[in-house]
Every structure is written in structure tokens, then in C-alpha cells.
Amino acid sequence: MAMRQEWAIKYRAAILERDSAIRLLRMTEADVAIQRRMGDVEETSRERRKLENALQSLNALRGRLA
């Protein structure tokens, strides 16, 4: 079984966090990890699409919190 990527762990922690103050921190951590990983994968890769979807989800969640 492949190890879960750091970005995926941080993303999951962000979307599952219930405490709003901590959620913002987790979202920032996830965003940084996703951006970092995006620099390492090919634009046409399956993982790249997952990264882009995760960023869109984080942005949508941020929009609902504002």
C-alpha cells in the first residue's frame, strides 16, 4: 500500500477540523503542502487533478467561512 502524501493528510485534517481558529491554520498548512506538491508533478497527471480539486475545495470552504 502506498503511503498517503503529506498534502492529502494535511488536506483531510483541514476539512475535518471543527474548531474554526484551528481550521484556518490547517487550511493554510494544506494549501502550502498542495502548492509544494504541484511543483513536483506533471500537469497532465492524475495526482495533479486531485491537487487542483483539493485547492478548489479549500477555496470554497474559505469562501463559506468568510
By residue range, what is the domain housing residue 55? 20-65
Note whether residue 56 is domain-resident. yes
Please tell me the pTM assigned to this model: 0.87
**How far is Cα 44 from Cα 29, in angstroms, rounded to an integer?**
24
Confidence of residue 65 (pLDDT cuts 50, 70, 90): confident
Note whether residue 14 is domain-resident. no
Looking at every residue in the chain, the average pLDDT score rounds to 91
Domain count across the chain: 1
Note whether residue 43 is domain-resident. yes
Q: For 16-37, write each residue's pLDDT tens digit.
A: 999 988 999 999 999 999 999 9
